[in-house]
A = this chain, B = another copy of it.
Amino acid sequence: PAGRKVLIIYAHQEPKSFNGSLKSIAVEELRKQGCSVTVSDLYAMQFEPRATRSDIVGCLHNSEEFNYGVEMWKAYKRGCLSSDLIEEQKKVQEADLLIFQFPLYWFSMPAIMKGWMDRVLIQGFAHEFPNCYDSGLLKNKLALFSFTTGGSKEMYAKGSINGDIRYLLWPMQHGIMHFCGVELLAPHICFAPEYVSEEEKKEMLIAWAQRLKTLWKEEPINCSPEWYFK
Q: Nearest B residue to A150 by beta-carbon distance? A: B69
How far, in angstroms, from A16 to B66 measured CA to CA in the complex? 8
Residues from chain B with Cβ under 8 Å of A229 in the complex:
167, 229
Q: Which residue of B17, B50, B106, B176 contacts A67 across the interface (Cβ within 8 Å)?
A: B17
Task: Kindly provide the distance from the CB of A56 to the nearest chain B CB, expressed in whole angstroms.
Answer: 11
A108 interface residue (CB < 8 Å to B): yes
1/0 contact trace for A2-46 toward B, CB 8 Å? 000000000001101100000000000000000000000001001
| Contact pick for A65, options B16, B66, B114, B118, CB 8 Å | B16
Number of copies: 2
Task: Give the chain B neighbours of A66 by CB distance below 8 A.
Answer: 13-14, 17
> B167 touching A49 by the CB < 8 A rule?
no
Beta-carbon contact of B115 and A49 below 8 Å: yes
Asked if A208 is an interface residue, CB under 8 A from chain B, the answer is: no
A149 CB, nearest partner CB in chain B, Å: 12
Residues of B within 8 A of A68 (CB): 13
Which one of B51, B52, B106, B107 contacts A105 once the chains associate, using CB atoms below 8 Å? B51
Cβ–Cβ contact B106 & A118, under 8 A: yes
User: Is A111's beta carbon under 8 Å from chain B?
Assistant: yes
